[in-house]
Structure 1
Amino acid sequence: MSAGRPGIDVPDARGRVGLHRTGLGLDRNPRVKVIDVEVLANDWGVLRRTTFDYEGRDGTWSAQRRETYDRGNGAALLLHDVASRSVVLVRQFRYPAYVNGHPDGMLLELPAGLLDEDGPEDAVRREVEEETGYRVGEVQELFAVVMSPGSVTETLHVYAAPYSPADRVGAGGGVDDEEDIEVVELPFDTALDMVRRGEIVDAKTILALQWAALDGPFRRS
Structure 2
Amino acid sequence: MANYDVTDLRERCEIIRNVVLLLALGALSSSHVRAQNAPTFKGHAMGETVADFLAIEARHPLIKSSVPLTLADCEAVVADPKSEKKAKSRLGYARETDLLGRCQRLLKLRDGQDGYVSPELFGVTNTGQFSGGRLVGLSIYVSLIDISYKEVRDDLQQKLGPPTQEGQTTYQNGLGAKFDFPWATWRDGKTFADLKQEEQDSVMVTIVDGEWQGKQKEEKRPSSLD
TM > 0.5: no
Task: Please report the TM-score for the alignment, with normalisation by the length of structure 1.
Answer: 0.25
Higher relative contact order (CA 8 A, sep 6+): 1
Pair member with larger Rg: 2
Structure with the largest fraction of helix: 2
Structure with the largest fraction of strand: 1
